[in-house]
Amino acid sequence: MTVTALRPAEVDPLGPLSGGVWRGPGVRVRRRSGPPTERSGALHTPRFRAIRRDGTLTVEHDLTPDELSDTLAVLLTEQLDGILLGQQDFESVFTGVVRTTVPGGLAAWTRFYRNSLGLLESGRSSFAAVHQRAAELVTGPWLLDLGSCFGFFPLRMSRLGHEVTATDLSAPTMDLLARVSARLERPLRTVACDAARVPRPDGAADTVTALHLLEHLDPGTGDAVLFEAVRLARRRVVVAVPFEQEPQACYGHVRTFDLAILRELGARCTGMRANVFEYHGGWLVLDRV
């Protein structure tokens, strides 16, 4: 299974802690220093204890700084399945684990980024193959990435020498990416915007990428984003999507794809030559005729 990176939208990643507890909408997260205390009605897993009472989900964990990476998404899905009620719970607990593992908001996220990029760029992450193939498909020095989320792919391409603009609907996430990119010495530009309405001129980038974005969008919105990518691309659009039997709701997925759907999407993009293939999910590559 290819795991989609978390797409934070409602949670402030640099929000304050109080007494070592991170609080999000209906969620509290703390890191425990000893063995878990047995509590009636709680879910006990190898790394977590979780209980929901009076509308609030409380999660305790024992993760270490070395374990902070985007693979946390898999751990939460495997061990807290059934108690996380949708994407907001998932995002809140994810953020809370990162923030309660390393002191200091920016320090915690910088550790998370370094660990995640290490796994991705060494090929040890399950998502590494997707990023590697996408990097191979980028043409020209100017890259614009839609729905960048944490921005691991833009940071990778910055390290490779590309002029990169990362975009996402979440302003706090783009602010976090801008701060971390400076710390990592991987410069890029960030823009907080709707992926269907990017404030950049036609042909603003040689390549426009949308990696595991369309599965988060209904078909109408997804079409608008794809057409916007075509408008922005001087040479090429690269789209990657997961192939799933059912949309994974905890990641915010709302639709599924197959090769036939991708071919139909490509056929609707006038002035572009479409190439569709499968590799750790589905790909649609559009080249300007």
Per-residue pLDDT in tens (0 to 9) along the chain, 289 residues: 233 344 444 688 999 999 999 999 899 999 998 776 666 689 999 999 999 999 999 999 999 999 999 999 999 999 998 899 888 899 999 999 999 999 999 999 999 999 999 999 999 998 999 999 999 999 999 999 999 999 999 999 999 999 999 999 999 999 999 999 999 999 999 999 999 999 999 999 999 999 999 999 999 999 999 999 999 999 999 999 999 999 988 788 999 999 999 999 999 999 999 999 999 999 999 999 9
* CA distances to 47, 137, 185 from 144, in Å: 38, 13, 19
* pLDDT at residue 34 in the model: 74
In the three-class reduction of DSSP (H, G, I as helix; E, B as strand; rest coil), residue 62 is classed as coil
* pLDDT at residue 139 in the model: 98
Q: Which two tokens stand for residue 151?
A: 């921005």
Q: Which two tokens stand for residue 275?
A: 């190439």
Check: CATH 3.90.1300.10 for 127-288? no
Report the relative pairing of strands 56-61 and 17-18 from DSSP bridges.
unpaired
pTM attached to this predicted model: 0.92
**In sequence order, what are the residues at sequence separation of 6 or more whose Cβ sits closer than 8 angstroms to the Cβ of residue 102?**
65, 68, 108, 111, 112
Q: What is the dihedral of CA 191, 192, 196, 202, to 10 degrees?
A: -20
Asked if 152 and 120 touch (Cβ cutoff 8 Å), the reply is yes
| Size of the chain in residues | 289
Beta strands in the chain (DSSP E): 17-18, 21-24, 27-31, 43-44, 48-53, 56-61, 142-145, 163-168, 189-192, 205-211, 233-241, 272-278, 282-288
Per the rule left: phi > 0, alpha: psi between -120 and 50, beta: everything else, 82 is left
Q: Which two tokens stand for residue 263?
A: 């071919």
Map out the domains of the chain as residue ranges: 17-115, 127-288
Q: In what helix (H) or strand (E) does residue 106 lie, and over which residues does it extend?
A: helix 105-122
Other Cβ atoms closer than 10 A to 25: 12
Residue with tokens 């550790």: 111
Give strand pairing partners of 22.
17, 29
Give strand pairing partners of 190.
166
